[in-house]
Structure 1
Amino acid sequence: MNRRVVITGMGVLAPGGVGTKEFWKLLTDGRTATRRITFFDPAPFRSQVAAEIDFAPELHGLGAQQVRRMDRAAQLAVVAASSAVEDSGIGELDPYRTGVTVGSAVGATMGLEEEYRVVSDDGRAWLVDHEYAVPHLYDRFVPSSFAAEVAWAVGAEGPAAVVSTGCTSGLDAVGHAAAVLAEGSADVMVAGATDAPISPITSACFDAIKATTPRNDDAEHASRPFDATRNGFVLGEGAAVFVLEERDSALRRGAHVYAEVRGFASRCNAFHMTGLRPDGREMAEAIRVALAEARTDPADIDYINAHGSGTKQNDRHETAAFKRSLGEHAYRVPVSSIKSMIGHSLGAIGSLEIAASALAIEHDVVPPTANLHEPDPECDLDYVPVTAREWATDCVLAVGSGFGGFQSAMVLTGAEGGRW
Structure 2
Amino acid sequence: MSKRRVVVTGIGSVTPLGNDAESTWKNILAGQSGVGPLTRLNADEYPAKVAAEVKDFDIEQYIERKDARKMDRFTHYAIAASTMAVKDAGLEITEENAPRVGVWIGSGIGGMETFENQYEIFQNRGYKRVSPFFVPMIIPDMAAGQVSIMLGAKGVNSCTVTACATGTNSIGDAFKVIQRGDADAMVTGGAEAPITKMSVAGFCANTALSTNPDPKTASRPFDQNRDGFVIGEGSGIVVLEEMEHALARGAKIYAEIVGYGATGDAYHITAPSPGGEGGARAMRMAIEDAGLTPEDIEYINAHGTSTPYNDKYETMAVKDVFGDHAYKLLMSSTKSMTGHLLGAAGGVEAIFTIQAIRDSIVPPTINLETPDPECDLDYVANEARRQDVSIGMSNSLGFGGHNATIVFKKFEK
TM-score interval (norm. to shorter): over 0.9
SS in 1 for 2:274: coil
Contact 1:57 1:75 in 2 (8 A): no
Give the C-alpha shift of residue 252 in structure 1: 2.5
Work out the CA distance in 2 between the residues paired with 1:353 and 1:203. 22
Contact 1:280 1:324 in 2 (8 A): no
Map residues 142-153 of structure 1 onto 2, 5 A cutoff. 142-153=139-150
Farther-moved stretch of structure 1 (4-13 vs 133-142):
133-142
Which residue in 2 is equivalent to 1:125?
none
Contact 1:16 1:342 in 2 (8 A): yes
Letter in 1 for 2:335: K
The structure 2 residue matched to 1:307, chosen from 298, 303, 307, is 303
Q: Unaligned 5+ residue runs, structure 1?
A: 122-127
Work out the CA distance in 2 between the residues paired with 1:298 and 1:19. 33
Which residue in 1 is equivalent to 2:170?
173
Give the C-alpha shift of residue 29 in structure 1: 0.3
Map residues 400-415 of structure 1 onto 2, 5 A cutoff. 400-415=396-411
1:319-378 Cα shifts (integer Å, max 9, x gaps): 000000011100111100000000001000011100000000000010000111111000
Which residue in 2 is equivalent to 1:27?
28
1:355-404 Cα shifts (integer Å, max 9, x gaps): 00000000001000011111100000000111000011010011111100
What TM-score, normalized by structure 1, do the two folds share? 0.96
Which residue in 2 is equivalent to 1:39?
40
Which residue in 2 is equivalent to 1:358?
354
Work out the CA distance in 1 between the residues paired with 2:128 and 2:345. 35
User: Does 1:345 pair with 2:341?
Assistant: yes
Contact 1:9 1:243 in 2 (8 A): yes
Give the C-alpha shift of residue 58 in structure 1: 4.1
User: How has the CA–CA distance of structure 1 residues 90 and 141 changed in structure 2, closer, same or farther, with 3 Å as cutoff?
Assistant: closer
User: Does 1:130 pair with 2:133?
Assistant: no
Moved over 3 A (4+): none
User: Does 1:279 pair with 2:282?
Assistant: no
SS in 1 for 2:216: helix
Give the C-alpha shift of residue 259 in structure 1: 1.2
User: Does 1:112 pair with 2:115?
Assistant: yes
Give the C-alpha shift of residue 142 in structure 1: 2.1
Give the C-alpha shift of residue 55 in structure 1: 4.0
Give the C-alpha shift of residue 114 in structure 1: 1.5
Q: Percent identity between the aligned chains?
A: 38
Work out the CA distance in 2 between the residues paired with 1:184 and 1:277. 35
Work out the CA distance in 2 between the residues paired with 1:199 and 1:45. 12
Letter in 1 for 2:73: R
Contact 1:278 1:320 in 2 (8 A): no
Which residue in 2 is equivalent to 1:195?
192
Contact 1:190 1:242 in 2 (8 A): yes
Letter in 2 for 1:112: F
Work out the CA distance in 2 between the residues paired with 1:56 and 1:65. 17
Which residue in 2 is equivalent to 1:262?
258
Which residue in 2 is equivalent to 1:161?
158
Work out the CA distance in 1 between the residues paired with 2:57 and 2:282. 38
Letter in 1 for 2:408: L
The structure 2 residue matched to 1:222, chosen from 208, 218, 239, is 218
1:25-65 Cα shifts (integer Å, max 9, x gaps): 11100000101111121211111211000143345222111
1:301-336 Cα shifts (integer Å, max 9, x gaps): 110100000001000110000000011100111100
1:269-292 Cα shifts (integer Å, max 9, x gaps): 110001123312111111111100
Letter in 1 for 2:255: A
Work out the CA distance in 2 between the residues paired with 1:145 and 1:334. 37
Which residue in 2 is equivalent to 1:139?
136
Work out the CA distance in 1 between the residues paired with 2:187 and 2:344. 15
Contact 2:62 2:79 in 1 (8 A): no
The structure 2 residue matched to 1:232, chosen from 228, 232, 247, is 228
Q: Unaligned 5+ residue runs, structure 2?
A: none
Contact 1:278 1:316 in 2 (8 A): no
Which residue in 2 is equivalent to 1:386?
382
Which residue in 2 is equivalent to 1:243?
239
SS in 1 for 2:44: coil
Which residue in 2 is equivalent to 1:375?
371
Which residue in 2 is equivalent to 1:51?
52
Work out the CA distance in 1 between the residues paired with 2:83 and 2:337. 25
Work out the CA distance in 1 between the residues paired with 2:368 and 2:151. 40
Please provide the CA RMSD for this pair: 1.2
Work out the CA distance in 2 between the residues paired with 1:362 and 1:380. 27
